[in-house]
Amino acid sequence: MNIAKSDVKIGGDIVGRDKITKYGVSGGELTKMFGQIKQQIEARPYDPDVDKSELNDIVEKIEQEVKKGEASNPTKVERWLQFLATTSDDIFQVTVAALVNPLSGIAKAIQLIAQKVQKKN
């Protein structure tokens, strides 16, 4: 920002509050969202058919892919969401809710895939 006697010039990237970009949700918010999902995995009761570490691995893969923003691979995310849907409906539901939240800033293609998988299940 440059202010002279009779001239004001504003340039660059000026943000008054919470900047949302087209490139995806901020790293901190994304980490927070997925941290809550991982806490929910840890809080799940023991299930001999579903290993918590396996759920954590899949959720971690989804998180890493979503961090790529517009470069995310929706096919991979769809496959991982299908896995969650068949193994752990509760974790599937909270993961989809995080992905389709319009305020999340997650790439539109990922949001659409999450909605598609949610409708199937």
- Pick the residue with more confidence: 120 or 4? 120
Q: Is residue 75 part of a domain?
A: yes
Number of domains in the chain: 1
pLDDT for position 29: 78
Note the pLDDT tens digit of each residue in 92-111.
999 999 998 876 778 899 99
- b/e map of 81-120 (b: 16 or more CB within 10 Å)? bebbbebbeebbebbbebbbeeebbbbeebbebbeebbee
Q: Is residue 104 part of a domain?
A: yes
Q: Is residue 84 part of a domain?
A: yes
Q: Which domain holds residue 106?
A: 24-120
Query: How far apart, in Å, are the Cα atoms of 55 and each of 3, 59, 66, 76, 99?
Result: 54, 6, 17, 15, 17
pLDDT for position 17: 44
Q: Is residue 14 part of a domain?
A: no
Give the mean pLDDT of 62-71.
Answer: 92
pTM of the entire predicted model: 0.75
Note the pLDDT tens digit of each residue in 9-55.
555 545 554 444 444 455 677 888 899 999 999 999 999 999 999 99
Q: Binning pLDDT at 50, 70 and 90, where does residue 63 land?
A: very high
